[in-house]
Structure 1
């Protein structure tokens, strides 16, 4: 399996070669030169597998240069009862990402896929725990070090830091928007005292943090000298790890391979639902991929109109589903690459236009940049939007009817999913986090505090360690260099 850049960088790379690097040298994102296919016979054989062994079967199609025995050991180390609260030793088939049937609506079934059983109570753990083990494995092979530089809108940061804390040869520099996460999210990150963890609160929004990561990554000389890598979903290994739970969700919701399912995904940076796109391209029988946005509706606007129009920092709303407060969806470029029949020159031109003009238009109308929007339906994508009043009402409704408490981002997903439920096609909504991480909104919706798992009772009261900095590339580079000694 070889990988190519969405912007045409000519040198094909292996999985191990792109694992530690993040962006391609030309600023593009890596994708496989062609998607591996999964047969019906393979799906049948995978139904009885544990989550760890299913992960191995999916991963080995992409990481063909890692010995299979090593890859299986890494998967089993990652997806184990010691890491996931609901898993039991030797019986994790349905417990890493369990399915919970919620309701029948419009003649169809709505199912919640729980993805928040990991150490930081968010879906990001599913990929990040694997990434931490892959990084440690690869660095040990090379006797090398890695300085991870990433950005978070709330959950990626804590998942990365918990996955990388104490890992030999790894430092983590994590950017987050100052005072724009929930109190729980901030405490999860800033209370860590590990010496290889550096938290930087950036005066701005998530997009400013993400722009800093890209600017540093695009300085190839600095990136090489400082041994910079990334854990954001621009890292291909993150996306691959997330592909696995689409297969698990499908296999758990169906009894044979002739049935289709749909997935609704609360979306900000397009990484989570990009994994669903990859699964569909591999042959998983997915009907619709439903993009659910909050007030920051850049993706909803594109999937309704064909116009991709990023917002400036001042236009990006600070909402009660803060992990989706994103107006520049990094992984969107991977889908556009496929939508444009992998025409790297056009992809490069369109995303250069994003930088200079703030977006592009594929609607086919007068003055547009193309008419590829007509092909979006071929890939199964539809979308919808949820605002604060919607998510509060949805949290309240789901709790009243089913006794289940969901977090605000998952509520955005449920609200939009209900608009697309169809008879005979199970609709799986991907959970994003436990409600305890967003207690302020749960209290508003239900009039009481969200339940907290053991060990998180007083996390906000713990001492916190972080630095506040402006969104300045030069200052950020100096900070990294000053803490690595390189």
Structure 2
């Protein structure tokens, strides 16, 4: 399978090249030139498989020709052996037609582990094959950083640099990154917000001259196609467990950067019978405004109880727009360049219609978020983290009928957001899993750096040269 840029001016590449490159030369994001299709007969067969076997079947068409089937299956098995639940992505019922898909049973208690545990192993595999050493540079609004570090810390061929917004992630999120004391792990607390971190990463990928000779940047953010690919799997696993293909399943997805719900859109395009795809956002609601009012414009960033969604610009939305523009990369490039210059984007009527055909949306502020944490616990005994609570609230707001089966993606463990749980008034102790019980006592290591590209790149250069 080949991959093309959303902006149309970059050459088509293999999976291996896309994995190591991250961002296309023309500034676009890579997407496959075609998608594998699964018939109802295929889905019925897949429903009997373990999560690991299903992951192989869903992802194999995307990587075939770049890695042997034996090696790929071994990497999958090793990645998900790190999860502490035998189902890997278990479902929990919270009312008659609503289920929670728990995606936090990986080593860092967040859904990012599903993609990054595999991504780290894929990177090490291909870099080892090439006898190269890569430099991972990533931005995080909270969960990506720790998941990426956990995936890369044991990789011989990688140094990893993660930028997080200083004092804008939860203490547990920060400590999961900064207490990993290894020579190849480097944490930067940037004096700014997530979008500053994300833009710095994108700019650095466009011009890597600050790196020593023979080193290249590698992306672990969801701009890397492999992240999206791995997230497609749990849409299949949950829908099949709930009766697909005989039943149609809807999903409510808390999302800031659009990567997680874009994976659901791809699953639908691949043949999975999905009803609604609900975009659930917080007060930083650019995606809700884009879907409900055709207003994809930047607004000031608000600090919320759901920091992983405190994002002003959703990078992966461009991947969806590529399809909405009928894969006209030149037209999309013009729109994205205009958006970069003005901070505003209103889609042509036909393109906007293509978007809302597949998505509905809702935005919850902090007060609503705390209400849904409290009410969900009172009604079902289920303790949701603030992001998951937003997904549950959005599902209720967008439900079209009483018999619609809705799966809400639980993107993180509630223990990562103790402040929100306490603020909700829920009388329930929030306990970290056993392997993290001493987290708040561990030694930290990170560098607070001003929001200046040259300063950050100079610091990275010094660490790489050590």
Structure 1 Cα separation of the partners of residues 214 and 455 of structure 2: 17
8 Å CA contact 1:121, 1:433 repeated in 2: yes
Aligned equivalent of 2:223: 234
Give the 3-state SS of the residue equivalent to 2:94 in structure 1: strand
Give the 3-state SS of the residue equivalent to 1:361 in structure 2: coil
TM-score normalised by the chain length of structure 2:
0.97
CA displacement, residues 171-205 of structure 1 (integer Å, 9 cap, x when unaligned)? 10000000001111111111111111000000000
CA displacement, residues 187-231 of structure 1 (integer Å, 9 cap, x when unaligned)? 111111111100000000000000000000111545785311010
Structure 2 Cα separation of the partners of residues 181 and 438 of structure 1: 10
Aligned equivalent of 2:380: 402
Matching of residues 304-453 of structure 1 within 5 Å: 304-311=292-299, 315-362=300-347, 364=349, 371-378=350-357, 380-421=358-399, 422-445=401-424, 446-453=426-433
Runs of 4+ more than 3 Å apart: 220-226
Structure 1 Cα separation of the partners of residues 15 and 218 of structure 2: 14
Structure 2 Cα separation of the partners of residues 9 and 70 of structure 1: 33
RMSD: 1.4
Residues 1:33 and 2:33 aligned together? yes
Q: CA deviation at 1:425?
A: 2.9
Matching of residues 26-425 of structure 1 within 5 Å: 26-65=26-65, 66-80=67-81, 83-87=82-86, 95-104=87-96, 109-219=97-207, 221-222=209-210, 225-254=214-243, 256-311=244-299, 315-362=300-347, 364=349, 371-378=350-357, 380-421=358-399, 422-425=401-404
Structure 2 Cα separation of the partners of residues 153 and 40 of structure 1: 38
Structure 2 Cα separation of the partners of residues 359 and 458 of structure 1: 45
Give the 3-state SS of the residue equivalent to 1:144 in structure 2: coil
Q: CA deviation at 1:448?
A: 4.4
Higher mean alpha-carbon deviation, 233-242 vs 414-423, is at 414-423
Higher mean alpha-carbon deviation, 398-407 vs 168-177, is at 398-407
Give the 3-state SS of the residue equivalent to 2:174 in structure 1: helix
8 Å CA contact 1:298, 1:308 repeated in 2: yes
Q: Which runs of 5+ in 1 are unaligned?
A: 88-94, 365-370
Give the 3-state SS of the residue equivalent to 1:418 in structure 2: helix
Residues 264 and 208 (structure 1 numbering): CA distance in 2 closer, same or farther, change over 3 Å?
same
8 Å CA contact 2:361, 2:398 repeated in 1: no
CA displacement, residues 317-357 of structure 1 (integer Å, 9 cap, x when unaligned)? 01000000001101010000011100101111111011111
Aligned equivalent of 1:14: 14
Q: Indicate which of 468, 472, 476 corresponds to 2:448.
A: 468
Structure 2 Cα separation of the partners of residues 399 and 410 of structure 1: 12
Q: Which runs of 5+ in 2 are unaligned?
A: none
Give the total of aligned pairs: 462
Give the 3-state SS of the residue equivalent to 1:102 in structure 2: strand
Q: CA deviation at 1:13?
A: 0.5
Higher mean alpha-carbon deviation, 336-345 vs 220-229, is at 220-229
Give the 3-state SS of the residue equivalent to 1:360 in structure 2: coil
